[in-house]
Chains A and B, each alone.
Chain A
């Protein structure tokens, strides 16, 4: 049963929502301001959206960020799903505590630490790589040295791949947490039924488990995508000169003060995210209602039989 909410609680809900939304709404409104001075109102205008569309630096950075986010979130979803599965289904194995620690810690680890440590790892790998290639070439194994160069050459100078690896590492934790809570409430009877009918574990996973948890996988991927798209600090440590992502461009502009083009960009991001989240919420509620209806029908069918 629901208790009648006290006036204080209702007042508090309103105040906190106002606190959460005032900055966001103000950015959206100022993005339509004709004045170059962001906070001085000079009438409605779309001109900053036009300026934004002409800004090659922002467009290029946005395209790069989308690529990084799509690739790293896909990899992180695969790793995070496996990690979530392992945490729920394998309660005992050697190194489990260490594993669960390594899954949980990146979520809260201050970004400057993760960023610095990843960069130092890449530099160490680069040094080992250079030493190995030179060593192999010196000892007359030029072909092997070439193979090593092709396989591990990406550690040199850093760039797209190092940024992706860094993003995969910290976003997979978020996805693992999402998947862990999904696997926790997963009904085991379907998997057991498939196993009883002779399906191999791997087949059970791909044919039964995966389709059931697909909605969670999709929301995990989207979460990873937005987190990767938004990252500034870890990217700043791990990227090379040619890979400037959108948050870095935004940060360098914002440091100099308010910029009407950033307001326009922010409004576009807010619009996309809001539409996405609203659609996802409606979709999930519909799926949930459908599931409840199916369950009731199954129960009724059982009762008749």
Chain B
């Protein structure tokens, strides 16, 4: 009788009381729970997968579903470094693709910076109402599909594409320039796709800059160009670092752009990973490639993380 009364009573209590009592009984405070929800999600779905990639990179390749095994013929768990990593260091294809990716990503980052800096500077110096419109125009292409923006370049770069047609019509060239399926097209695609990622942090930084510093420099007789390089550029260094990392890190592993715009010679490591995984079904090697890419990105990732934390500290 008593138990049924308390049960009826309990069922009338709001659910939150139930939850609170339970959590209190378990010794979990609300704050811990709030942190735990996103923490556990990211831990399970973002961090743990890397450990599994590391383990699979040390597995044997077999003909099965999935096409790898952690065990040898005797049924013992083994760490097989030779097959996957051995292949990476002995076959020059991987080293070439790896090096090429780093070069392409670094060069594209510098080009994005050279294009994006004066651009972000210009926007930051406009009047606030114009600034908002220009900023919207920078963000707009970023919201439209990435795939479609890369696709758009095919129509421009092809032999009978818009650029060649225009150049031939005005008589600058007699026959089309082969731009599709070249390294030039890959650079163009990466710079085009990642430029907003460079512009936005630079703008955020330049917009906050204290203009009285430049006025003081001008009053003391400093030429505008000199003031720009002595004051504006050093002060915007955090923005430069953030933008560069936002371009460089994802560009190293880029797959879609070299696949659609590049040719057979545009070897990039992300494309190698894709081929190993989907075409060759060599998952241990694909995993080893992933680990190799991560090794190259550890330092850039740490710089990026440090910048994010600093921004947080500065604002709060």
Residues of chain A touching chain B, judged by Cβ–Cβ distance below 8 Å, are: 1-3, 5-6, 8-10, 12-13, 16-17, 19-24, 26-27, 30, 37-40, 79-80, 82-83, 85-88, 90-91, 93, 95, 98-114, 116-118, 120-121, 123-124, 165-166, 168-169, 172, 176, 180-181, 184-185, 201-202, 226, 229-230, 232-233, 236-237, 247, 250-251, 254-255, 257-258, 262-263, 265-266, 269-270, 273-274, 276-278, 281, 285
Nearest B residue to A267, CB-CB: B148
Q: Which of B75-83, B90-98, B244-252 participates in binding chain A?
A: B244-252
Asked if residues B46 and A120 are in contact (CB atoms below 8 Å), the reply is no
Which residues of chain A have C-beta atoms less than 8 A from B8's C-beta?
Answer: none
**Residue interface bits B154-170, CB-to-A below 8 A is 1, else 0:** 11101011100100000
18 further contact pairs, Cβ within 8 A, besides A1-B211, A120-B49: A3-B214, A8-B118, A9-B118, A20-B192, A39-B165, A40-B160, A79-B41, A90-B34, A93-B31, A100-B305, A112-B253, A121-B48, A165-B45, A169-B46, A172-B41, A250-B148, A262-B148, A285-B132
Asked if residues B39 and A110 are in contact (CB atoms below 8 Å), the reply is no
Asked if residues A233 and B256 are in contact (CB atoms below 8 Å), the reply is yes
Is B316 on the interface with A (CB-CB < 8 A)?
yes
Asked if residues B256 and A232 are in contact (CB atoms below 8 Å), the reply is yes
Which residues of chain B have C-beta atoms less than 8 A from A26's C-beta?
Answer: 152, 155-156, 162
Is B4 on the interface with A (CB-CB < 8 A)?
no
Asked if residues A23 and B304 are in contact (CB atoms below 8 Å), the reply is no
Which residues of chain A have C-beta atoms less than 8 A from B25's C-beta?
Answer: none
Is B312 on the interface with A (CB-CB < 8 A)?
yes
Which residues of chain A have C-beta atoms less than 8 A from B249's C-beta?
Answer: 108-110
Is B86 on the interface with A (CB-CB < 8 A)?
no
Total contacting residues, chain B, CB less than 8 A: 94
Asked if residues A273 and B144 are in contact (CB atoms below 8 Å), the reply is yes
Nearest B residue to A106, CB-CB: B46
The smallest beta-carbon distance between B202 and chain A, in angstroms, is: 12
**Residue interface bits B51-94, CB-to-A below 8 A is 1, else 0:** 01100100000000010000000000000000000000000000
A268-B66 Cα distance, complex, nearest whole Å: 39
Asked if residues A230 and B145 are in contact (CB atoms below 8 Å), the reply is yes
Asked if residues A254 and B147 are in contact (CB atoms below 8 Å), the reply is yes
Residues of chain B touching chain A, judged by Cβ–Cβ distance below 8 Å, are: 16, 30-31, 34-35, 37-39, 41-50, 52-53, 56, 66, 115, 118-119, 121-123, 125-127, 132-134, 136-141, 143-149, 151-156, 158, 160-162, 165, 192, 195, 211, 214, 224, 245-246, 249-250, 252-256, 259-260, 270, 273-274, 277-278, 283, 286-287, 290, 293-294, 297, 301, 304-305, 308-309, 312, 315-316
Which residues of chain A have C-beta atoms less than 8 A from B127's C-beta?
Answer: 2
